[in-house]
Amino acid sequence: MHENDTWLSRRTYHHSEFADIEALVRRKEERGLKVSLCFPTLNEEATIAKEIVLIKGELQMRHKLVDEIVVIDSGSTDRTREVATEFGARVYLATDILPEIAPYRGKGENLWKALYVLEGDIIVYVDADIKNIHPRFVYGLLGPLLKEDGVRFVKAFYDRPISLDQKTVKPSGGGRVTELVTRPLFSSFYPELAQFIQPLSGEYAGFRECFDSIPFPIGYGVETSMLMDIYERSGMEAMAQVDLDKRVHRNQTTVALGRMSFGIIQTFIAKLRSSGRATMAGELHKTMIQFELEDGEYRPRESRIDIVERPPIIQIEAYRKKFPARGDCP
């Protein structure tokens, strides 16, 4: 599947390569960088405390690798914000950030707004629903960014789905949506991006300029869109992926994954059109139709999924004021 000098072999890492955390701290200090960690949340009371506790204990108190831990919450109705504050994270309600801009609700919105409140040069995004959180989730992502000069963006993958140093190739370990939707689309239009083992994983890190100069879809599709944009702007060599072993999280129903796929396809096609890679005669329908069996009859259930996209945050004046060093960048 791959030869020695391919992107896959050059830019695929394993977290154990970066287990010497003190070496990463030294590298960070030599380069004068600050690291921000962001957890986007919506009703994650069950897992958020453990994530903060473990990362804070290991990567802030014992090793000074992470400079700030920030939670951006979409309006949880459980104790997410309270618990996160109690364990020492800085917690924001997404609607309180840039209040002059009409709010949307969605993970992409949180990630986008986080850029305004995070102070770091490197930003690490980690989903808040990980049951088996371990410091490797963070230092594994930071490793390639700190150690390899050319790497500007790192994406996580899990479960050792491929073996890089042997001929045997195990089935790749993407989820259902990855294997049935994203990878076929990437293979058709962006074959290089098909090398990301898990393009939809919710854990990634990058230098600020990777994120502040790209648009963010507010809902489904943020991960897909991000890969396409960073690829267009910086190319594959600036991107890397890291194997974080096993990740345990809640499973979603096929129906929910169907809606997610719909969102991803919509985002993908919009991107294709704006980049000039495809043209279409008309507009796409915005409603996903699914069926429920009720009293022996199939009833359609419609979900309207609008693809709303935030512009690159660097275009927002308040952001340029807060980060003047970034202000003159295109």
Partner 1 sequence: MVQPLKDMKELLIGNVVLLGEVPSYAGTWQSDDEMGSIDYSVRARFFADRLTELGVDECTTDPIGNPIGIIKGRDPDKPPILVCAELDSLYNPAGDIHYAVSGESIVGPGLMDNAIGAAAVLSLPDVLRRLGVSFESTVILAGIANTMRDSRNLVLVDAFVEYLGVRPAAAIVVKGGELGRVNYFTEAVIRADIVCDRNPEVHGIQPNMIVVANEIIDRLLALEIPQKPETTVNVGIIRGGYKYGAPATTARIGLEVRSTSNDTLAKLLAKIREILELVRYERRVNVDFDITVELGAESLGWSHPLTQAAISVLSALDIEPGVYPSVSELFYFLKRGIPAVTIGVANGSDYHQDVASANLASLYTGLAQLVGLMMMVDGEAIDARE
96 in contact with partner 1 (CB under 8 A): no
| Shortest distance in whole angstroms from residue 134 CB to partner 1 | 8
50 in contact with partner 1 (CB under 8 A): yes
Fill in the DSSP letter of residue 76: -
49 in contact with partner 1 (CB under 8 A): yes
**Binding span for partner 1 by CB under 8 A among 41-49, 160-168, 195-203, 226-234:** 41-49
* Given 34, 56, 320, 326, the residue binding partner 1 (CB under 8 A): 56
User: In Å, how far are 89, 96, 316 from 100, measured between CA atoms?
Assistant: 25, 9, 11
**Binding span for partner 1 by CB under 8 A among 8-16, 45-53, 210-218, 286-294:** 45-53
**Binding span for partner 1 by CB under 8 A among 81-89, 99-107, 167-175, 303-311:** 81-89
Q: Which is nearer to partner 1, 131 or 299 (CB)?
A: 131
151 in contact with partner 1 (CB under 8 A): no
* Given 7, 14, 43, 46, the residue binding partner 1 (CB under 8 A): 46
170 in contact with partner 1 (CB under 8 A): no
> Residue 71 forms beta bridges with which residues?
39, 91
User: In Å, how far are 58, 188, 189, 196, 267 from 176, measured between CA atoms?
Assistant: 33, 18, 20, 15, 18
Q: What is the DSSP string of 201-265?
A: -S-EEEEHHHHHTS-EESSTTHHHHHHHHHHHHH-GGGEEEEE----------HHHHHHHHHHHH
Q: Which is nearer to partner 1, 50 or 233 (CB)?
A: 50
Total residues in contact with partner 1, by rule CB under 8 A = 24
CB 172 within 8 A of CB 195: no
Site residues for partner 1 per CB under 8 A: 45-47, 49-50, 52-54, 56-58, 60-62, 79, 82-83, 86-88, 131-132, 134, 248
